[in-house]
Amino acid sequence: MPPAQHTTAKNRALASTGWYKICRSLWHALKDLSLLRKYSLLCLFLKRVMSVCTRKGTSDSEIEAACKTETSRKKTPTLELSSATQLPESTNCLACSEDGRYLSLGHSQGLSVWCASSLICVAEWLQDRLEITFTQMTRMAETTYLLGTVDDMGVARVFAYHCEGIHLLCVINIMENINKRSICLTFELSEGGDYGAASIGCNSALWLEVFHFPTEAWLKELKMALSQKQDPNSSGDVDVKWSPATVVIKVKPPKIPAGTALDGPLEVLQMTDLLTHCLALDVDTSNSHQWEELSFNTDAGITKETNESPRRCTHHFLLPCGQFPVDGKAKSQPAGLPVAVCVWWSGSHNLLQYLLKKAPKNKPADVEPMTDVLWPNAKEILCSAVSRCTRYIALGLDDALVCVWDRQSGSPLSVVLVSETDSAFFRMQFVDYWLSAEDSQTFTAAKVHLLVLCKSGAIHTVTTGRGTQTCTMQHTERPKESRDLPTVTASVPFLPSLSLVMQRNGKMFLQDVISKTTVCFLIPPTSHLIATPCNPVYALNTREQTLFIKGDQDPSCSASSKEGSQSQLFIFCFGESEIIKQYIVSLPDSPRQQKTLSCVTLEETCNLYLQQRALFVDERNKAVRQTWKQLQDTAVIVQQRHSRAAAS
């Protein structure tokens, strides 16, 4: 074939797949740019498309779909990178304080605190052969912050940042005996730093320890340490004996005491026996799952490991909310101080609640605490979330059920069937991080919005409330390819209708939950990629409306200097973008500063519950009529199916 005819055949083949039309439309869409800028953008576009098209077995339809995807991406706005700075070596975790003033960074040499506005390191705590893998930061006083960390050896520590210095206050799990080494799996500080909860494992055993931190004593000791350091007569080494943290409760997986009779009639059981009965059902269910696994595993080693696998726990701190008299001492507590912690164990149907009260001095520390409230559920709990005011507790159950409990009334707000086709729930969160003060103190029908993530990658939204009709909607469908699976789907507090989505392929964008449209893409520089997209290192500054995220050098780019190849901290300022300004709302005060309604006596709680019931009589009757109509329609459909089956 002559060269001219060969070139014409190639052009016809290119046009047949839609490439030529797409490239031509893209070229004309960039008419306002210079010729060199047009050429560079078109080359970048073709490079991305060819990376998809060069896979073995890619059809023309897939090639055209890839071209259309890239073209639609060009139409979606892009949020420009505000700034970037170099990170310490092997930065593993990142956290931001609630007031947005400071960043906490955990890396291979220890811990650093940065100023969030200037991105200047203001304090460091360094130690050789120590790698921090988790960090959290909360404000303890006006200029004092508490930091909780976990290192790669499973040791949890509590630090204080005060007057440009980091002080180690206590170690949560000190390893005194190497044969009984305890490992901290999760560690969380309550807002304000009054309490901390650590999930600790040791030799196939697992338990949850809740600590009370002496914040007032620590503040005095920090001031004393600062005065000693500033004393010209001191040697420079400040040795302060910090006040110890005390264990409030130690919760273990529920076990049935030996000799407990649970075979009798349920009517004759006492309250304590009833709690034991409900816990026994969880233990029996857990054992039944284990026996099912044992029947398929004949290897003795696998059998032993399966039978002794510990039950993981999930916990949430709870603020005073005016529920049943277990919160009777809530009025004596400072505003915003947690009064309880709720816990559920893997394989369990029950959500357990424990009061955060000091244990009696004459009571042994290893005595199992008594459950104050038990929230029973029909199915196994898979995930959970608590609203920002902690009034509502959402539980993702097996068989695609979502149960929302209202702590103020002590009853379920709603039980919703989300989907019958999707896989099991993976994670859930409240879209609204707060409720207004009117919703928490008056008897209005407050709506609750939930974001439910499935293991398949599908995302659903649930809207419910007392006296309102529950609405479920599929936000995104299950991705066709595993690289498009979302690894992070986080609701942004100051963007209530938008969610931040990060995918396994490294793409990052803001998506409108209501219209299901992509608002804008967040793209790093061409020389860098989002670090570890399966588990990205990022932090949201809600006060400054900024996203901080770690980026690594792109290996496909040309090699640069050692400093240029280190990780970078990328900063995206949402408040500066005209695209996002229309979605931004102002944040209310922290729940620690809001007044909450609490009921001391059973009579006050019952009156509150009856007032709520009286206000929503019409809505409740309407919901009952709708439910009966649905039942009648379902009965007709079932009868028709039986009739057709009998006729055939």
Domains of the chain, by residue range, sit at 37-50+60-75, 99-253, 484-588
Looking at residue 105, its pLDDT comes to 96
Cα separation, 23 vs 29, whole angstroms: 10
8 A C-beta contact, residue 175 and residue 161:
no
Lowest-confidence pick of 9-23, 378-392, 457-471, 517-531: 9-23
Q: Is the pLDDT of residue 503 over 90?
A: yes
Query: Residue 76 — pLDDT band, cuts 50, 70, 90?
Result: confident
Q: Is the pLDDT of residue 288 over 60?
A: no
DSSP states of 196-237 as a string?
EEEEEEETTEEEEEEEE--HHHHHHHHHHHHHHHH-TTS-S-
8 A C-beta contact, residue 202 and residue 180:
yes
> pLDDT tens, 37-48?
555 555 655 655
Task: Report strand pairing: 78-79 vs 518-522.
Answer: parallel
Q: Is the pLDDT of residue 13 over 50?
A: no
Average pLDDT, the chain: 77
Looking at residue 382, its pLDDT comes to 95
User: Of all residues in the chain, what percent carry a pLDDT higher than 70?
Assistant: 67
> pLDDT tens, 614-633?
776 776 677 677 778 777 88
Output the six-digit token pair for 31. Answer: 């008419």
Looking at residue 605, its pLDDT comes to 64
Output the six-digit token pair for 68. Answer: 């259309």
> pLDDT tens, 543-560?
899 999 999 988 877 555
Q: Is the pLDDT of residue 289 over 80?
A: no
Q: Is the pLDDT of residue 324 over 50?
A: no
Cα separation, 341 vs 351, whole angstroms: 10
HEC string of 236-302 equals: CCCCCCCCCCEEEEEECCCCCCCCCCCCCCHHHCCHHHHHHHHHHHHHHHHHHHHHHHHHHCCCHHH
CB atoms within 10 A of CB 628: 10
Q: Is the pLDDT of residue 345 over 50?
A: yes
8 A C-beta contact, residue 27 and residue 42:
yes
CATH top-level class for 99-253? mainly beta
Query: Residue 14 — pLDDT band, cuts 50, 70, 90?
Result: very low
